[in-house]
Structure formats: structure tokens, C-alpha cells
Structure 1
Amino acid sequence: MPDFSYEETKLTTGRHYPIHLLLFVATLFTTTWAGAIWTGIPPFTANKAGFIEALKTGVPFSLALLAFLTVHEFGHFFATVKHRIRATLPYYIPLPPLPFLMSIGTLGAIIRIKEPIRSRRALFDIGAAGPLAGFTVALGLLIYGFLHLPLAEYIYSVHPDYRAMGGIPPAPADTLYLGKNLLFILLDALIQPKGLPPMYELYHYPFLFAGWLACFVTALNLLPVGQLDGGHVIYAMFGSEGHRKISKFFLAFITVIGAPSFILGVLELINPALVFPVPELLLRWSWPGWIIWAIILRRFLGTKHPQAGSDHPLPPGRMTAGWLCIAVFILTFTPVPFAIS
């Protein structure tokens, strides 16, 4: 669910407040619907009397996720206001959680910049403001989730069969795992919460799941490639030549860590009966989605950055903020965000 926040083209249309509001309300509904499903109580399988009650279980996840998206996008928006660059309000993108989709109820949110950014300082401020603002929400959600874990009875309401097993069992085959990022590991070690669920049950815990998703989206946006937020920051910090080198390196990096599991998946599709001797450690650090993401960046979003102002270096304060963005990327990046046992 990446945030493609910029379109540096001349647009003549004004703001359409009813559209923004309608999309927000629709996204509020679809994320609440998705949250109820992740909590384990699908609202549209309930009877009429229980429909509203079932839907209510998705509200914490919905509000947490929308808080992150809203703060992230308004970080960008207020930076454009500061630099007197015309931009739209956020457009939220609803996505109904259909049975064949592993949906969280939204594809994110975007703002559209309505004129070119001609200053590296403005480019930096707009690029960095969204991830830094959104990260504060992600951090807050994770801390709150760690400090307010429900009692053990909660997981039995989602999985009644676990009670007879005496607790959460080892993950069965074909179970979805969520990978741990460095921030998650550090908070776990610092807070040492009691009753923290395994990563294959995390999506039943709305604040932890929303915080994890917020970290995942933040890291995707901060990839220092092309015109992603991270690409804007790197370009403003190190100029066009520095951006070109760093962008190529990270594109190669995500290709390398995605290749083993991607190739194995293709070979298994060609001939499921064959057994391929791939070291487990290699697959543990590989996610095939990075290959798809590399293709999207290379073919559709582009890896180059257009000229934006002179190549004069940023002042020390903004350089410090840039290094903070790099630290946030390191904390939130997950080499294998999703895995199947």
C-alpha cells in the first residue's frame, strides 16, 4: 500500500471537497469492514441483529490505520502550504475486502501537487514531512499496542478451538506470518510485554497490526528510489548524481533479496512435483514481492528524478532531518514482510 504522493503536472481543476469527504467516508467503511474480518468476526456473515455489533469490532483498526494515513498525507499537504505550492487535499482510496483479496480496506491515500517544485528545500520538506509525521503515529500505535495487550481470553474469542489446545498452537502449514522490523524488535525488548502474540496471530490485534502496517508503508515510501518520498529526500540531500547511485544500489538490493523466493515460486509453478534444494536461511531472508516492486519502480514509476532547483547542499538542519528519515527507514524496513509457513 505505497503512497504515490506526487504528480508534478499543471492541473487546472480546483478542490472538490465533496469528493474528498465521500472517499474518506467510503474508506472509513471499508477499513472498518476489513478490521472486523481481521478480528475474526466477518460482519457480512452475521445475521441482521448482529451486523452492527460485528462491524464495531473493526472500528479500532480502521481509526488507527486512517489516523496514520491522514497524518502522513497532511504532513505532505502542510509542507506544500508552507512553500506556497498548490496541492489537493488527500484522496483516500477505498478497497472493499472481497473474499479473494487479502485486503486491509484501502489502497492508501494521495495528494496531487498542482505545479512543479522548483526548490530543493521545498522538495525535501514535502518529501520528508509525510514519512516523519506518519512515523510518529506508527510508533505511537505500536507502543500503545504493546502496553495494552488484551487478556489471553481475547484470542479464544477469535479461535475458540485454541482453548481446548491449552493456548496458541504452533502455526499450521500455509499460515501467514508478518515479519518483524527493527523497531518492532527494539520495542519488544524494551517494553517486554506479557502475552505478545506470535507474528502469525498479530493481525487479530488491531493496534499492533495497524502499527505494523504503518511501518511497512513508511518503509516503502522511504525507499531511496525514483520519485518515492525517499527518492525526494535523497535527491535533495545528495543531488542528482548521489540520487542516481543510491537509487540504482537499492533497486539492485531489493532485486537480490527477492530473487531466491521468486525464482523458487516460478519453478514450483512449472513443476510442483520437483523438490528444489534451496537453503532455508536463504529463503528466510527473501520475499518475492520485492521483485514485483522492483519491476513497478523500474517500468512504471521510474528510477530517475527530474531536476529541482540548483545542486547547492541543504542547510545543516535539513540534512539532520534527512538523516532522521534514513534512520526511520532502517527502523521500519522489513526484508521479509510476509511469509507463508
Structure 2
Amino acid sequence: MDTLLHQAIRDVFVPRERTVRGSVFVYRGALLVPAARALDVLLPRLEPLGFTPFLRADGADVVLQAWPMAAAAPEKATVNVVLFVLTCLSVLFAGLLSAGSPTFDALRRTPWFFLAGVPFAVTLLAILTFHEFGHYFTARYYRAVVSLPYFIPAPFLLFGTMGALIRMRSPARDRNALFDIAAAGPLAGLVVALPAILLGIVWSTVAPAPPGGGLVFGDSLLMRVLLHAWFGAVPPGMMIYTHPVADAAWAGLFVTALNLIPVGQLDGGRIAYALFPGHHRLVGHLTLLGILGLGLVTWASTWFVWAALIWMLMRFFGHVPPMDDVTPLTPARRVVGVVCLILFVLLLPPIPVQIS
């Protein structure tokens, strides 16, 4: 096998050293052509031999690794469909609980009361669906093997769902493809979430605050600016009753912000990996410290839970590197990456939910 691999790489890569680590062949040396061109040549040559090539820079050298190809088990869409239907029902139920706006007073007194949950459910599901299929279609564009979205029903949680996820079953081609696949989800979700939050605010009302306490959603910087721009200063004793579309958009933007946290295999973690090669772990540790600091400043227990989850992501779920980890990110993608980090700051509420 070593002879066959050497023949496959000899006109694009000059090896100085060769080692074998288990079933992985590792060559250290220099490329004879640009990394992107080398990958174009190596992929069709190594795949018939049962290997996937990986290129990475190591100082002045380039390391070429030939990993055995993992067989992708065929998937049926039955599980995806069942989970989606259960999530629809779960989110519809959550929408009924969130339809506290005076807009729905009359509807709640009719046999069609369940329709009050539809605006919330449709909006949130649309945001999540656009988000996940943004990942899915971008991954398919780059010929990555990827699953259909798995929606996660959570009938006992505030929003009726824990979001959705897709499973990448093959590595991204290069950092640019990895970046595009990661960023496509949040940006596609925003295509629905931003118009929804604007419409939801327009449809919201100001009315006397009920006696006693209640559940209050925290404002992100973006949400605070939009609410103040539309309603101005709310008089004492009054409160904004957000329309369910605004509630769902708030939830969708919150999920987007959480996905943009630059750690682990979250979307933000993959963006950071592509944007800061060699420094993504430092970015992750600084983010963890920032989340802990946010919890200490606001004393919101939610952030301590997220800090624990982030630590687990960093500790147990490392990055799957792209096949070409040598070709740098394009300048345009660097700009989009900075925009994604700014969105993370704008969309993340310091105190997500509190009793007031």
C-alpha cells in the first residue's frame, strides 16, 4: 500500500519523512503545486485506494496524511420526519402559552383557540428550517456528505424545541468551504428572523402591566434599539406585550447567537477555526472566560450552565479539520467572519430570561 500511495502523490508532493500511525500514513515534505490543485489531484487517486488526503502546514513543511475512508451508512428520512412532526406539535403548544398578547383574547375564547399558537410556531420553525437547510445545501454544494436536519422537540421547555442539527459525515474540502458551511446557517436564519422581529414589534402593543411578577425576555442590543425606535419610552405602569411573532423571532435570534459562540463544533467555532488558524483554541478559552464573566456580572444562572456546556464542547468535541488546511481564507470571507462575530455581540441578551 505504501508503494501505491507514494506513486499517487509523487508528482504533487515531495516527501522527506514517512511514518505510519496505526492505519494512517503520514508524509512530511513540500508541495510541488498549490494546495488546492494538489487536493484536486490527490482525491481521485487516493479514493480508489480507500484513503482520504489531509493537508496541513507545519512550520516550513507541509504534512500530508492519508486516512482510511469511513464507510457512510445509508440513512432513512423516517426519523427526521417524525422528529419534525413532533417538534411542530411541541412548538405549537409553546406558542399557545406565549400567546398572551391582547390581540388573541377573542380567539382564545373560541373552539379554534389552538390557532393562537400558529404565528409563534410557524415563525420559529421557519427560522430553524432556513438555518439548517442553509447548512445542508451549502454542504451539498461542496459535495460534503451531510444528513438531513434533526429537529429536537422539547415540549416542557419555554420554546418547545432545543433547535435542530445536521451531521456532517465527511470533512469539508478546505477552510473556505468549512467557513461557508458554518456561516450559511446563521445567515440563512436571519433572512427570516430579521423581517419577523420587525413585523412582530410593529404588531406588538403597549398595555397596563399585570399585577405581580411575570416571565420577561431579556433584550439584546439589537432588540433594545428596535423596541426603543418603535415605542420610545414606555410610561410607568405600562409594558410592551410582544406579539408571538416577535417572541418567536426573539427565540430564533437567541438560538442564532448561541450558535455563533466561537467554540467547539458550534457554527461560531467553525467560523473561528477558519478565521483564526492556529488560534481558535485561544478564542474558545477567551469566550469561556467571557461567558463566566457575564454570569458573574448579571448573576444569571443560565450563563453558568452554558459555561459548563462550552467547556464540555471544548474538552470532548474537537474540530474535524478540512482536507486542505493550507489554503487561506479569502479576504471577502474574513469580512463576513467579522460580521458574524459582531452579530454574536448584537444578538446575545445579557440576561436571556428572568422573573420580574
- Figure out how many residues of one structure are paired with residues of the other and give that number: 278
Letter of the 1:80 counterpart:
A
Q: Which moved more, 1:15-24 or 1:324-333?
A: 15-24
CA shift for structure 1 position 65: 0.4
Please give the alpha-carbon distance, in whole angstroms, between the structure 2 residues aligned to 1:57 and 1:181: 26
1:95 equivalent to 2:154? Answer: yes
Q: 1:239 to 1:52 in 2, by over 3 A?
A: farther
Structure 1: runs of 5 or more not aligned: 1-8, 42-49, 156-166, 260-281
Q: 1:300 to 1:328 in 2, by over 3 A?
A: closer
| Equivalent of 1:114 in 164, 169, 172 | 169
**Are the equivalent residues in 2 in contact too, given 1:240–1:305 (CA < 8 A)?**
no
CA shift for structure 1 position 15: 3.5
Q: 1:238 to 1:311 in 2, by over 3 A?
A: farther
What secondary structure sits across from 1:339 in the alignment? Answer: strand
Q: Which has the higher strand share?
A: 2
Q: 1:107 to 1:52 in 2, by over 3 A?
A: farther
1:314 equivalent to 2:329? Answer: yes
What secondary structure sits across from 1:58 in the alignment? Answer: helix
Please give the alpha-carbon distance, in whole angstroms, between the structure 1 residues aligned to 2:318 and 2:295: 22
Please give the alpha-carbon distance, in whole angstroms, between the structure 1 residues aligned to 2:292 and 2:233: 37
Please give the alpha-carbon distance, in whole angstroms, between the structure 2 residues aligned to 1:216 and 1:176: 16
1:148 equivalent to 2:203? Answer: yes
Residue 81 (structure 2) aligns with = 21
**Are the equivalent residues in 2 in contact too, given 1:258–1:290 (CA < 8 A)?**
yes
Please give the alpha-carbon distance, in whole angstroms, between the structure 1 residues aligned to 2:265 and 2:249: 25
Please give the alpha-carbon distance, in whole angstroms, between the structure 2 residues aligned to 1:194 and 1:72: 34
What TM-score do you get using the length of structure 2 for normalisation?
Answer: 0.71
Residue 245 (structure 1) aligns with = 282
1:168 equivalent to 2:209? Answer: yes
**Are the equivalent residues in 2 in contact too, given 1:15–1:89 (CA < 8 A)?**
no
- Counterparts of 1:64-83 in structure 2 under 5 Å? 64-83=123-142
What secondary structure sits across from 1:74 in the alignment? Answer: helix
CA shift for structure 1 position 254: 0.5
Where does structure 1 differ by over 6 angstroms across 4 or more consecutive aligned residues? Answer: 193-197
Q: Which moved more, 1:189-198 or 1:294-303?
A: 189-198
Please give the alpha-carbon distance, in whole angstroms, between the structure 2 residues aligned to 1:326 and 1:11: 35
**Are the equivalent residues in 2 in contact too, given 1:244–1:304 (CA < 8 A)?**
no
Higher alpha-carbon Rg: 2
Residue 229 (structure 1) aligns with = 267
Structure 2: runs of 5 or more not aligned: 1-68, 102-108
What secondary structure sits across from 1:109 in the alignment? Answer: strand
Please give the alpha-carbon distance, in whole angstroms, between the structure 2 residues aligned to 1:288 and 1:11: 42
CA shift for structure 1 position 306: 4.2
Please give the alpha-carbon distance, in whole angstroms, between the structure 1 residues aligned to 2:349 and 2:327: 33
Please give the alpha-carbon distance, in whole angstroms, between the structure 1 residues aligned to 2:201 and 2:149: 30
Q: Percent identity?
A: 37
CA shift for structure 1 position 52: 5.4
Q: Which has the higher helix share?
A: 1
Please give the alpha-carbon distance, in whole angstroms, between the structure 1 residues aligned to 2:74 and 2:110: 39
Please give the alpha-carbon distance, in whole angstroms, between the structure 2 residues aligned to 1:81 and 1:255: 37
Letter of the 1:294 counterpart:
A
Residue 344 (structure 2) aligns with = 329
What secondary structure sits across from 1:93 in the alignment? Answer: strand
1:305 equivalent to 2:319? Answer: yes
Q: 1:117 to 1:37 in 2, by over 3 A?
A: same
Q: 1:305 to 1:314 in 2, by over 3 A?
A: same
Instruction: Deviation per CA, 1:259-280: give whole Å up to 9, x if none.
Output: 3xxxxxxxxxxxxxxxxxxxxx
Please give the alpha-carbon distance, in whole angstroms, between the structure 1 residues aligned to 2:355 and 2:318: 34
1:124 equivalent to 2:184? Answer: no
What secondary structure sits across from 2:350 in the alignment? Answer: coil
**Are the equivalent residues in 1 in contact too, given 2:292–2:307 (CA < 8 A)?**
yes
**Are the equivalent residues in 2 in contact too, given 1:222–1:231 (CA < 8 A)?**
yes
Residue 30 (structure 1) aligns with = 90
Q: 1:70 to 1:193 in 2, by over 3 A?
A: farther
**Are the equivalent residues in 1 in contact too, given 2:159–2:251 (CA < 8 A)?**
no
Residue 206 (structure 1) aligns with = 244
Q: Which moved more, 1:115-124 or 1:69-78?
A: 115-124
**Are the equivalent residues in 2 in contact too, given 1:35–1:62 (CA < 8 A)?**
yes
Q: Which moved more, 1:189-198 or 1:107-116?
A: 189-198
**Are the equivalent residues in 1 in contact too, given 2:263–2:314 (CA < 8 A)?**
no
Please give the alpha-carbon distance, in whole angstroms, between the structure 1 residues aligned to 2:129 and 2:318: 28
Residue 289 (structure 1) aligns with = 302
Instruction: Deviation per CA, 1:34-68: give whole Å up to 9, x if none.
Output: 11122259xxxxxxxx8951211101100000000
Q: 1:124 to 1:54 in 2, by over 3 A?
A: same
Please give the alpha-carbon distance, in whole angstroms, between the structure 1 residues aligned to 2:338 and 2:299: 27
**Are the equivalent residues in 2 in contact too, given 1:146–1:193 (CA < 8 A)?**
no
